Amino acid sequence: MGFDTSGLLPLSDALQGMLEQLTCCCDSEQLPLPEALGRVLASDIASPLAVPPFDNSAMDGYAVRLADLASGTPLIMAGKAFAGQPYHGEWPAGHCVRIMTGAPVPAGTDAVVMQEETQADGDRITFLAQPEPGQNIRRAGSDIGKGDCVLPAGTRLTPREMPLLASLGVATVTVRRPLKVAIFSTGDELKPVGTPLAHGDIYDSNRYGVRAMLARMGCDCLDLGIIPDDPAQLRAAFIRADEEADVLITTGGVSVGEADFTKQLLDELGEIGFWKLAIKPGKPFAFGRLPRAWFFGLPGNPVSAMVTFDQLVQPALAKLAGQRFERPLQLQAIVAEPLKKSPGRLDFQRGILSQGPNGLEVRSTGSQDSAVFSSLSRANCYIVLERERGRVAAGETVTVEPFGGLLL
C-alpha cells in the first residue's frame, strides 16, 4: 500500500482490499441469554428441541376421528384438553374431545374442528362441516426440527432472536466479546461541546457521530477526545490507542496538505495506505495496521466522515467482530426534481424517499456539500448515483438505499 495519486480508487476495490486482510479478532465467552443482547453468536445454534414439541391444536374446538363422523350423527364429548393439561382419559368410538388452542391433541386425533363449525347440545356435539385430515393440527417439528440450525454463527442478537432462543430453552449462548474501538478527532480548530468557541473554532461533531454508530454496532468505545495537530500529542494518542484497542478510528488529517503530516507519523508506527476514493462525499481515506491495532482514518468533513464510516468502516468492523453483515436493500425510485452530478465518482447523495402516486419518489435534501450536516439529518435514504452518470433529470429512475442500519 503506497501513497496513491495515480487515480481514484473505486469503493468496491477499497472494501474488498480491506476485507481480504481482516479476520475476526474477538474471543468468545458464555453468557446467560438475557445478558447476550447485542452480542454476536460465536457458533451456530442447533435446536435442542422440535418446535412445536408435540402435535397440538391450532384452534379452540373439538378433536375428532374422521371415522366417527362418517355416519353424520352427533358425537359425545368424552372430556377436555387444555394447554398444559392434556386429556388422558378414554376416548371410545362415537366420542370427541373438547380442545383448546395449544393443547396436545389426544392420541388418534385426525383433525380439530373449530368451535364455530359445531353446535353443542349439552355434551352432544353436531359437526356442521366435514373436516380435512390433519386440519387445525400443528404437527410436532413443523416449525423447527430437532438439530436444525436456527441461527448461524455471526448473528447479532436483537429483540427478534431473543424470544426464538428462549422458545428452544436455550439458557446460555456462546458469543464474541465486543470489539474495542479507540477514537479521536484531530484538528486545532475543534472544541468539545460545553465549551465556548474562540474565533476560528468549531465544535467537534464527528466524534459524536462515530461514537453513536459504534454504540449501534455493539462495539466498546475508548474515546480519546480531541487531539491537536501536534506531532508529539498525535504520536502519543496513536500509541495509546494501539496498546488498548483492537481498532483506531480517527477523523480529519487525511486530506491533501494534512496527510503528509499524519502519513509521516503513521509510516513510522505502522503500515498505512492513504487512498483517494472514487466516492462523493468522502474522497480521502486511510487504512492500515499499527503494530497491534487496525487503523481507519476518516475524512474531517462531517458528512464524509459519516458516509465513509457507513460504507467502508462498518463492514470492516463487522468482520473483525465476527458479525455477518449485509447492506440494506437497494430500491428503485423516480427522481422528483433534477439532481446535480458530475461523472467521475460514485455519489451518495442524501435524499427524502416517499410514496408518490406512481410508486417511490425521491428528492434531494438540498445542498450536497460535505460540510452541510443538515443534508444528512433531513434525509431518510442515500440516492446512489453511478460513477459515470452525469446530471439526472426529473423522471429518471435512480437507486436509493433507505437508512435503516447505522444511519437510521
* Residues found near Mg ion in the complex (CB under 5 A): 187, 252, 300
Please identify, using beta-carbon distances, which residue of 70 and 232 lies nearer to Mg ion. Answer: 232
Which set of grid coordinates corresponds to residue 158? Answer: 436483537
Chosen from ligand AMP, Mg ion, none, partner binding at 154 (C-beta under 5 to 8 Å by type) = none
- Residues 187-206, interacting with ligand AMP (CB under 6 A): 187, 189-190, 202, 204-206
**Binds ligand AMP by CB under 6 A, chosen from 300, 315, 351, 402:** 300
Please identify, using beta-carbon distances, which residue of 61 and 299 lies nearer to ligand AMP. Answer: 299
Please identify, using beta-carbon distances, which residue of 62 and 348 lies nearer to ligand AMP. Answer: 348
**33 vs 40, 134, 154, 164, 374, CA distance in Å?**
12, 36, 16, 11, 40
CB of 186 to ligand AMP, least distance (A): 6
Chosen from Mg ion, ligand AMP, none, partner binding at 301 (C-beta under 5 to 8 Å by type) = ligand AMP
Q: Which has the closest alpha carbon to 62: 98, 86, 116?
A: 98
- Distant-in-sequence, close-in-space partners of 207: CB < 8 Å, separation ≥ 6: 183, 184, 185, 223, 225, 226, 251
- Residues 206-225, interacting with ligand AMP (CB under 6 A): 206-207
Determine whether 2 is exposed, middle or buried from the number of CB atoms within 10 Å of its CB (0-12, 13-18, 19+): exposed
Please identify, using beta-carbon distances, which residue of 136 and 370 lies nearer to ligand AMP. Answer: 370
What is the C-alpha separation between 240 and 217, in angstroms, rounded?
23
| Residue 322 contacts ligand AMP per CB under 6 A | no
What is the C-alpha separation between 180 and 53, in angstroms, rounded?
41
Please identify, using beta-carbon distances, which residue of 187 and 209 lies nearer to Mg ion. Answer: 187
3-state secondary structure of 145: coil
Please identify, using beta-carbon distances, which residue of 369 and 386 lies nearer to ligand AMP. Answer: 369
What is the C-alpha separation between 388 and 344, in angstroms, rounded?
6
Site string for ligand AMP, 249-288 (x = CB under 6 A): --xxxxx--x------------------------------
- Nearest-CB residue for ligand AMP: 300
Chosen from Mg ion, ligand AMP, none, partner binding at 251 (C-beta under 5 to 8 Å by type) = ligand AMP
- Residues 130-189, interacting with ligand AMP (CB under 6 A): 185, 187, 189
Chosen from ligand AMP, Mg ion, none, partner binding at 299 (C-beta under 5 to 8 Å by type) = ligand AMP
Please identify, using beta-carbon distances, which residue of 259 and 383 lies nearer to ligand AMP. Answer: 259
> Could you give the residue ranges of the DSSP H alpha helices within 99-258?
161-167, 206-217, 231-244
Give residue 158's identity as a one-letter amino acid code: T
Determine whether 403 is exposed, middle or buried from the number of CB atoms within 10 Å of its CB (0-12, 13-18, 19+): middle
Phi then psi for residue 136, to 5 deg, are 60, 25
Residue tagged 458528512 (cell numbers) = 303
Residues that bind ligand AMP (CB under 6 A): 185, 187, 189-190, 202, 204-207, 251-255, 258, 299-302
